[in-house]
């Protein structure tokens, strides 16, 4: 666009958060839903199924990166709310894996100090950083992630039907953030990176791999004999060492293809987006009370959430 008679203003935190909660928070969910549909459709061709499976796992990894980036950015923003969130996200370079060496006990505070000492891009290993951040008490966590929290809030900020969540917000934030820090999410991130950079994959079936190891077992379902994508996490090596087996490490995992497992993984992806949506809404409402946002999503997204949780005890309805 050409320059106009006056400069276009920078994106405010209010505008950024509204846009993020409306669309950006859910972009991966909508894409992943389409990939599951293609992978499970009888009308899809072999190559379409394989492409959908690869894209689904790559999207799942992107959800983890998105969540880690946003949690990290909010923790930095809480230290100086005059900063703009888009600028913080531009400066931090979040890494979803673990560093080769153990980080120091003061890793989180050292990074916070370094961020405000200069304007250079800052590399952050998000999981050890956030793990140290999560060591604070439940009462301290809301403020650490940018929520203006106090024991006796104004009724203009916290409606009566939201008070139960508010009173235990620190505990809830811990439940929202911690799933992004567990080893399973790191494993998904590793698979995502191998698809993205390379791609470092081969095609094959679980039953053929078992046969090459001299094993045989009855097929429990069609997925073990269905050709799928296998991720090469350790180059050409396909079998774990004894130490790796004892540590539950996988060097060449297969991407599951059966519908039940894909739907289960899709549910986990939805919950990751629900978590950051919930926290982001509280951040927006408590910092900008004149721009109150209801805890609800579009009917289209609500339908996806309901579908993803059909087999779960947890029921979420943002329309109430």
Average pLDDT value for the chain: 88
Buried b (16+ CB within 10 A) or exposed e, 69-106: bbbbbbbbbbeeeebebbbbbebbebbbebeeeebeee
Residue 238 has pLDDT above 90, yes or no: yes
Domain locations along the chain: 14-181+259-308
For residues 225 and 214, which has the higher predicted lDDT (pLDDT)?
Answer: 214
Give CA–CA dist 238/252, Å, rounded.
5
Supply the pLDDT for residue 256: 85
Query: What average pLDDT does the segment 142-154 reach?
Result: 91
Q: Are 97 and 187 spatial neighbours (Cβ–Cβ below 8 Å)?
A: no
Q: Are 266 and 33 spatial neighbours (Cβ–Cβ below 8 Å)?
A: yes
Query: What average pLDDT does the segment 26-37 reach?
Result: 94
Residue 318 has pLDDT above 70, yes or no: no
Beta carbons within 8 Å of 210's beta carbon, 6+ residues apart: 216, 217, 224
Residue 50 pairs with which residues in a beta bridge? none
Supply the pLDDT for residue 200: 92
Supply the pLDDT for residue 319: 39
Supply the pLDDT for residue 313: 43
Rounded to the nearest 10°, the torsion over CA 128, 134, 135, 141 is: 150
Helix axis angle, 46-77 to 183-196, nearest 10°: 120
Nearest in space to 227 (alpha carbons), one of 256, 209, 203, 191 = 203
Give CA–CA dist 167/240, Å, rounded.
47
pLDDT tens digits along 257-298: 888 889 888 998 898 999 999 999 999 999 997 778 888 888
- Provide the percentage of residues in the chain whose pLDDT is more than 70: 94
Supply the pLDDT for residue 223: 67
Supply the pLDDT for residue 186: 77
Supply the pLDDT for residue 219: 61
Give CA–CA dist 28/31, Å, rounded.
5
Supply the pLDDT for residue 154: 83
For residues 191 and 318, which has the higher predicted lDDT (pLDDT)?
Answer: 191
Supply the pLDDT for residue 317: 44
Provide the token pair at 217.
Answer: 């077992």
Supply the pLDDT for residue 158: 87
pLDDT tens digits along 173-221: 999 899 888 877 778 888 888 888 878 999 999 888 988 988 876 665 6
Supply the pLDDT for residue 83: 96
């Amino acid at each position: 666009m050409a320059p106009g008679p006056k400069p276009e203003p920078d994106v405010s935190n209010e505008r950024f958060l509204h846009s993020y909660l409306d669309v950006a928070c859910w972009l991966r969910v909508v894409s992943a839903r389409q990939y599951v549909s293609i992978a499970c459709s009888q009308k899809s061709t072999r190559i379409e199924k394989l492409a959908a499976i690869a894209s689904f796992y790559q999207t799942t990894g992107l959800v983890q990166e998105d969540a880690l980036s946003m949690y990290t950015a909010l923790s930095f923003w809480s230290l100086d709310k005059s900063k703009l969130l888009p600028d913080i996200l531009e400066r931090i370079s979040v890494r979803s894996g673990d560093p080769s060496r153990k980080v120091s006990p003061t890793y989180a505070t050292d990074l916070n100090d370094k961020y405000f000492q200069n304007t250079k891009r800052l590399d952050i290993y998000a999981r050890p950083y956030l793990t140290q951040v999560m060591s604070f008490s439940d009462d301290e966590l809301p403020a650490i992630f940018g929520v203006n929290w106090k024991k006796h809030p104004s009724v203009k900020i916290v409606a009566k039907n939201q008070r139960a969540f508010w009173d235990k917000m620190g505990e809830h934030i811990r439940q929202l953030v911690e799933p992004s820090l567990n080893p399973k999410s790191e494993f998904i991130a590793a698979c995502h990176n191998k698809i993205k950079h390379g791609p470092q994959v081969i095609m094959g079936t679980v039953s053929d791999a078992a046969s090459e190891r001299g094993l045989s077992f009855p097929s429990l379902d069609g997925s073990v004999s269905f050709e799928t994508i296998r991720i090469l996490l350790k180059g050409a090596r396909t079998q774990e060492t004894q130490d790796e087996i004892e540590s539950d490490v996988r060097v060449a995992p297969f991407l599951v293809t059966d519908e039940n497992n894909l739907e289960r993984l899709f549910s986990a992806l939805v919950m990751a987006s629900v978590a950051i949506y919930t926290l982001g809404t509280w951040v927006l409402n408590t910092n900008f009370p004149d721009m109150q946002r209801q805890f609800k999503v579009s009917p289209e997204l609500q339908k996806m959430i309901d579908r993803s949780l059909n087999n779960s005890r947890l029921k979420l309805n943002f329309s109430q």
